Amino acid sequence: MSETNNIRIPKTTDKTRSSLVLKLNLQMLARLFAGFFFINFLIIVLTLFATLWKIETGARDLSAAFKSAIENQDTQSLKLGNYQILVVDKMPKGFSLPSVILERLPMKHKGALRSFSIEKLIPEATMRLDDLRFREKIGLVRYNISFLANDTVYQVKYALGKDLRFFLSLFLILLACELLILIDNMAKGSRPIKKTLRPLSELAETARRLNEEMSSMRSGAKGSYIKDIAGVISSIDANRLDSRIAVDHAQNELKDLAYAINEMLSRINAAYQSQVRFVSDASHELRTPISVIQGYINLLDRWGKYDQKTMEEAIDAIKSETESMKELVEQLLFLARGDNETIHLNKETFDLCDLIDEIVYETQMIDPSHNYEVEIKKPAVINADRQLFKQAIRILIDNSIKYTPYGEKITIRVAATDDEAHITVQDNGIGIPTEHLADIFERFYRSDESRARKTGGSGLGLSIAKWIVERHGGHFEVLSRENIGTRITVILPSGSIV
């Protein structure tokens, strides 16, 4: 036995899960960090603008008060709270604010210069600036506004250090809280992530075990999982197609996957039930003519050998039932090919009016017992499969023939606009009960089994017509009243109009 067959797949599920959890955890922390960074930046900008507005407002009020004090008494400086204004010999160095910002500030002196400064000495001590700690240096920061008024240079100083120290304390507290949040999420974040990824981990583990067991089966070994796999496979049968995956509301990331799988199971279940019903109905339809044929064969075997009349009756009945079986099988094959998408449309351009004339002419030769009225508005040129479309219209007319008394009128209308083409088949027949209208296009459906048996037909004609019309992008409109008649209209969209 080759070495390849003995290879065992390593158990990497836990390792892969841990790696994925770590990756998702880091991504979550990165998003938190980015969010905190943006919030902190926004707080700093808003705080700076609010502080600047407060300083500028106070400086404006103080400068107005100082000008009044100069006029009343000889003074060169004035101190009020954190503000100080004084007269200086020359304009100090500084920076100018853009006019767009300056126009929106309370201090609107043109040519005013602003600057930041740090006092070189503490007033009550002789300690040098370089010997101070950072927090003490922050407390010495001053915000200065220098401006010229009446040929005099004024300078407003604001002790910004107190505000900066207060803001720095609050900012450090905010950073500490954010750090605690990050640490807490780092510690707790992996648990909900692991819980959310548990179904995927179980899927991965199951796939690993299946792959491992298949390798063992190829090597001829009988691993411990074969029976488990067989049990799982045997449990997936028609009796459990209605099972669904439970959707955990806490696992939002997996909801779409669960819903998609559930919808797929619903479609599979519906298709399976449809197939079961189709096979059951087909068996029922075939059983009846087979029983008739078998009965006449027994009749021939007993009395028909020497009775010419009995022999002819049996042969005619067998021929009739054989034709019915042939028609049923052909219809079943058509629908089967349609379901498998193996029927190709050979589209061509033709006038519907000519096709209706042809169908009506052939029908009158076969069935002269009904009156046919044709209302055609030429032209009605479409692009479609002529043979299939002829088959669909013939099915509608044949249904009208079966359920319309002899001598009554059957009307066929054709009309086309720029957007749609309408083909209508209307009769004065027995009509369809309102409660059955929604089901008339179902396979093997008959509203009246006893009457359907007399008129013939398998109940597949309208299903075939529906398939043909829908493949051309069209649809049906049905109007029917019992004992009054039925009107079926085929509507083709603008895409089929030439």
Q: What is the pLDDT of residues 405-429, one digit of tens each?
A: 988 999 999 998 888 899 999 999 8
Residue pair 138/168 in contact (Cβ under 8 Å)? The answer is yes
Residue pair 295/310 in contact (Cβ under 8 Å)? The answer is no
Q: Show contacts of 414-417: CB within 8 Å, 24+ apart.
A: 414/352, 414/353, 414/356, 414/375, 414/376, 414/377, 414/380, 415/377, 415/380, 416/352, 416/377, 416/379, 416/380, 416/381, 416/382, 416/497
Closest CA to 353 of 416, 405, 294, 397: 416
> Number of structural domains, the chain?
3
Same domain, 327 and 368: no
In this prediction, residue 227 carries a pLDDT of 46
Same domain, 29 and 141: yes
Examine residue 273 and state whether it is found in any structural domain, yes or no. Answer: no
Examine residue 250 and state whether it is found in any structural domain, yes or no. Answer: no
Q: Write out the two tokens for 201.
A: 């981990």
Q: Write out the two tokens for 10.
A: 């390593």
Same domain, 160 and 61: yes
The rounded distance, in Å, linking the Cα atoms of 381 and 127 is 104
Same domain, 164 and 62: yes
Question: Which residues fall within 8 angstroms of residue 348, CB to CB, at 6 or more apart?
Answer: 383, 384, 385, 386
Same domain, 336 and 354: no
The rounded distance, in Å, linking the Cα atoms of 66 and 29 is 54
Closest CA to 76 of 22, 154, 182, 173: 154
CATH number at residue 487: 3.30.565.10
Examine residue 225 and state whether it is found in any structural domain, yes or no. Answer: no
> For the chain, how far is it from start to end, CA to CA, in angstroms?
68
The rounded distance, in Å, linking the Cα atoms of 318 and 315 is 5
C-alpha separations of 38 from 31, 33, 45, 274 in Å: 11, 9, 11, 58
Q: Which domain holds residue 78?
A: 22-168
Same domain, 53 and 89: yes
Same domain, 287 and 385: no
- Kindly give the parts of the chain with pLDDT less than 70: 1-21, 68-76, 120-132, 189-191, 193-259, 261-262, 281, 304, 446-458, 494-498
Residue pair 83/37 in contact (Cβ under 8 Å)? The answer is no
Entry pTM:
0.47
Examine residue 41 and state whether it is found in any structural domain, yes or no. Answer: yes
Domain limit, last residue, from 148, 168, 188: 168
Same domain, 356 and 489: yes
Domain limit, last residue, from 297, 321, 340: 340
* 113-118 sheet: strands from edge to edge: 77-80, 83-88, 152-159, 141-149, 113-118
Same domain, 34 and 148: yes
Domain limit, last residue, from 142, 168, 194: 168
Same domain, 389 and 438: yes
